[in-house]
Structure 1
């Protein structure tokens, strides 16, 4: 039986050797041996690919997120940029790199899941937990997992600012104070009662369950009014295609904590599942973009959802790097 932890350790050592400052001829020899090692076993190639992606993700977040600063970030950068300077220090540097990575991952995961805006939100939910409450004006507001909102009910407008995740709203009537859900992509003003708004880095999506909602995009292009049974996404480029939805099925899926997808790219589905699981889900968007998903998946059981996806797409491979870090890739041919 192949020992996957040993394989991952071997992959880490190969990456350290490749980062050394040997002359060109020695480097070419190492690269050739590394390719032979990867081709020897599909698990070798998967371990190397996962580790390279992990290092890249951590470096990218470390470079762009001021929250990941201090000793862990500096140690991580020093390890992967300067490691392998001398061959006699190779093993010590491998241990240093692994230690710094292990120290940095919890900090990175924490600030990925809980940016400053989320930590300071008026109402928020952790991964895997749903919450419903009645606001002071009588409106029912429900949040699914990993969702955060700010609420402002004073003044001439009732405002719920969606910072992350997805909300279900049943608006209490008040003709003198409009109810507005504010997102980075535009404002959605209720002209009736029930609707769902979800927010991703790429778009805000409105799903109408009852009555109507007026949408005012952030770039101030034309305002649209959606009616019950309609759904649309608003991006930085404008409106996406308008779609019809089954109201009863959609609302039942919300209450049952299910995700209904119809011909959506697999990376989009994984991003949604990742928001509902503790830890972080890594995946290669480009490699997985060719897979399209039509399914009903349990959001309150994301690990089961991942297994269902793997059954639908046998080429998918799941690798748990740590209990809080999982890699989704494609089996090497």
Structure 2
């Protein structure tokens, strides 16, 4: 006998402790699917289970819902879909009918988190979650397929896993993707005008549409290879990138030439480093401001156009102030908590 989906009633937001436990459960679940799982990993897992009775209960619930979803027959899915459509047609004002029957809460580490939902229609995602980081924050998050995401500061993205493909939309910011190989389910990253497709690799994508001078998209490959294409239906151009190569596009998806990039230059922000090579000072400051307040402003167009080269820790505003006076013909004009960068003479 099949079970029909049911409407869900709203519930209170989960506590910080509950969100943390769900993140731990998801992390352990993903790790146990990997082929390199060993005896030491299993001992650590068992120790985690034994540390708190709630750990085992939460993990067993996750496994049970995962098995239940995989066991759903196509016929049942079709029946549910018809039922959903019928209810929507007869009661369009009753919100909540189309919510999934199985709902698992989102990771507590995701700021402004979306939700993690198992849906019963094959045409819809089987996993869906939104992630966002605050200014100055970074986040590493596992996915159920074994892939991992590393979000930089002020980054927003949306993950959707389907039965036949995996898809991430990078709304704003930059992230590194460590993709679990699965030939039957390609992994796409949609970033502005570009689509990046892989099967299994590690690469970084940047898309900052609101940043002057850096409103295009950049793709850099650390391991494996990717195919980068324009998302417009009439576009035919595509670029294949291998490890140590990168490509950028403007806001309309027009590619620059493919260039080499050192491994440490793929995503230096992972180590709290920002490197600039002959970069206009105004643009360098705007990049640093993504991570936190520098306490610096530049109003003189000639000063803003000065070219800056160097590597900086965005968390260390004091060193930045000292370095600017050494690297450029400028001085700092203090005005309360803010200093204006002005010509040295």
SS of match in other structure, 2:137: coil
C-alpha distance in 2 between matches for 1:216 and 1:246: 23
Q: Tell me, what secondary structure is at the counterpart of 1:209?
A: strand
Question: Partner residue of 1:330?
Answer: 342
In proportion to residue count, which structure has more helix? 1
Q: Distance in 2 between matches of 1:213 and 1:306?
A: 39
Query: Is the Cα–Cα contact under 8 Å of residues 316 and 331 in structure 1 kept in the other structure?
Result: yes
CA 191–154 in structure 1, closer or farther in 2 if over 3 Å, else same: closer
Task: Give the one of 175, 180, 200 matched to 1:172.
Answer: 180
Q: CA deviation at 1:285?
A: 8.4
Partner of 1:206: 219
In structure 2, how many angstroms separate the alpha carbons of the residues matched to 1:147 and 1:310? Answer: 31
Which stretch shows the higher mean deviation, 225-234 or 213-222?
Answer: 213-222
> Unaligned 5+ residue runs, structure 1?
1-117
Offset at 1:297?
1.2
Are 1:253 and 2:281 matched, yes or no?
Answer: no
- CA gap 1:191/1:245 in 2 versus in 1, 3 angstroms: same
The structure 1 residue matched to 2:309, chosen from 277, 291, 294, is: 294
- TM-score, scaled to structure 1: 0.56
- Shift in Å at residue 155 of structure 1? 4.4
Name the SS for the 1:239 alignment partner: coil
In the TM superposition, what are the counterparts of 1:1-333 in structure 2 within 5 Å? 122-201=130-209, 202-219=215-232, 220-237=235-252, 238-247=254-263, 249-250=264-265, 253-278=268-293, 282-284=297-299, 286-302=301-317, 304-317=319-332, 326=338, 328-331=340-343
Match of 2:77 in 1: none
Quick one: distance in 1 between partners of 2:170 and 2:300? 26
Aligned residue number for residue 45 of structure 1: none
Distance in structure 2 (CA, Å) of the matches to 1:189 and 1:295:
33
d(CA) in 2 for partners of 1:313, 1:152: 46
Secondary structure class of the residue paired with 1:129:
coil
Q: How many matched pairs?
A: 212
Cα distance between partner residues in 2 of 1:214 and 1:288: 40
RMSD: 2.8
Residue 149 of structure 2 contacts residue 178 of structure 2 at CA under 8 Å; is this kept in 1?
Answer: yes
Determine helix, strand or coil for the equivalent of 1:173.
coil
Q: Would the aligned equivalents of 1:287 and 1:330 in 2 still touch at CA under 8 Å?
A: no
Give the Cα–Cα distance (whole angstroms) in 2 for the partners of residues 250 and 276 of structure 1: 18
The alignment's TM-score, normalised by the length of structure 2, stands at 0.54
Cα distance, 1:301 vs structure 2? 2.9
**Which is bigger in relative contact order (C-alpha 8 A, separation at least 6)?**
1
Task: Describe the superposition over 1:148-182 as per-residue Cα deviations: whole angstroms up to 9, x where unpaired.
Answer: 11111134321111122110111001111111111
